Amino acid sequence: MNPTYSIIIPAYNEEEVVAESYARLTRVMQGMGEPYELLFVNDGSRDGTARIIAGFCQGDSAVRLLNFSRNFGHMPAISAGMDYARGQAVIVIDADLQDPPEVLPQMAAKWKEGYHVVYGKRSKRKGESLFKKATAKLFYRLLRAMTDVDLPLDTGEFRLIDRRVCDAVNALPEKNRYIRGLVSWVGFRQIAVEYERQERFAGVTKYPLRKMLAFAMDAIASFSYKPLKLATSLGFIMSLVGFVYMLVVFYQAVFTDRVITGWASTMVVILLSQGIVLMILGIVGEYLGRVYEELKNRPSYIIQEIIGGEHETTDNPLPEPGER
C-alpha cells in the first residue's frame, strides 16, 4: 500500500541537524494520522549524514534513503526524490529546518480542499543578512519580470505537490532543472501558505554567494530568453552610438578647423564596447552550454544504493526510474 504523503528531504553534510529533522518530521507526520514515508536523499555527503539516516531506516520502516554516488546538487536530489516518491502528495523540505515541518498540516489541509500545489511563502526570513534578503528579493522579482511563467514571489522548493503534478514534472525531458519553475509551468490549482523562515538549526549554509549566483543564472536561462534579446539590443545600441560618433568625427575633419583629439575618450568607448561584446558572448555561451549539457544526455544523478522501505540495494549504479 502506497503512503498518502512522501516527504523528500535532500541532505548534504547535515550530520549536525539530520537527527532533529527526522524527529520533528516524524512527530508532525504521526500527528497527522495518515500513512507517510520520509525519503532522504543523501547528495554525496562527506560527513556522517548517510550513516545517521541509515540508522533511522533500521528502526523505522517509514524511512528510505537514496545514496548518490557523489555530490550532484540540490536540484538533482529533489528530482531523484520525486522520481522515487510513492505518495499521493509529495512534499519537498530541506533538512536544515529553516522551513519548519510544523507547517505541513496547513499544506495538507489546502491539498484536501482541492489545490494541486501548495507552496510555502516566506513572510519573514530569520537569521539572514540584509544583503542576502535584498538580493533574494531582487532576484525573485527580476526572474518574474523576465519570464511569461507565473512564478510566485518569495518562495523556495518548500511545497506540497499532488501526484498528478509530480508525474507531469517527472515526464519533462530536460536535465538542468529549476524545480519551482517547472512546478509553476505545468499549471494546476496553486495556492500559498505563509510562514516565517527560521534560522538554521545547526551547521552552515550550502549556498554561499558563488552558488547563489550560479543558481540565479540557471533559473533565468531555464525560463527566459530575454537575456539574448537584451544582448541584441545592446549590440544595436552600441552600433548606433559608434555610427553617430563616426559622423561627428567626419564632420569635424571636413567642415571645421578643430583638431580631432580625444585619445582617452576613444579608448573609453573601445573598452566599453568590447566589454559589452564579451558580456554578450558570455550570455550566448550560457545558453549554448545548457544545450551542450542536454545533448550529452547524461543522467542528472546516479544512485549508489537504496536503503529502507520494501527493498534495500547496494552498488546499484542507476535503478529505475532515475534514467533522466
Cβ 112 vs Cβ 90: under 8 Å? no
b/e for 187-223, b at 16 or more Cβ within 10 A? eeebbbbebebeebbebeebeeeeeeeebbebbbbbb
b/e for 162-183, b at 16 or more Cβ within 10 A? bbebbebbeeeeebebbbbbbb
Find the DSSP H helices in the chain. Answer: 18-32, 49-59, 74-84, 104-112, 130-146, 163-170, 179-186, 209-223, 226-255, 263-296
DSSP 313: B
Cβ 143 vs Cβ 151: under 8 Å? yes
Four-residue CA torsion sign, 266, 270, 275, 277: positive
Cβ 81 vs Cβ 66: under 8 Å? yes
Cβ 35 vs Cβ 4: under 8 Å? yes
What gap in Å lies between CA 278 and CA 56, rounded to an integer?
A: 52
b/e for 296-313, b at 16 or more Cβ within 10 A? eeebbbbbbbbbbbeeee
> Digits of tens for pLDDT over the chain (324 positions)?
688 899 999 988 888 888 888 999 999 988 888 899 999 999 888 888 888 888 888 888 888 999 998 888 888 888 888 888 888 899 998 888 888 888 899 889 998 888 998 888 887 766 566 666 666 667 666 666 666 666 776 677 888 989 998 888 888 887 777 787 788 888 888 888 888 777 655 555 555 556 666 666 666 666 666 666 666 666 667 667 666 766 766 666 667 766 556 655 666 667 666 767 777 777 777 777 777 676 777 778 888 888 886 654 444 443 444 444
What's the whole-model pTM score? Answer: 0.69
Q: Which residue type sits at 238? A: M
pLDDT of residue 44: 84
Cell numbers given for 65 = 534513503
SS3 195: strand
Q: Which residue has the cell 554516488?
A: 69
pLDDT of residue 96: 83
Residues 6+ apart with CB under 8 A from 135: 212
Q: Which residue type sits at 8? A: I
pLDDT of residue 318: 37
What gap in Å lies between CA 261 and CA 250, rounded to an integer?
A: 13
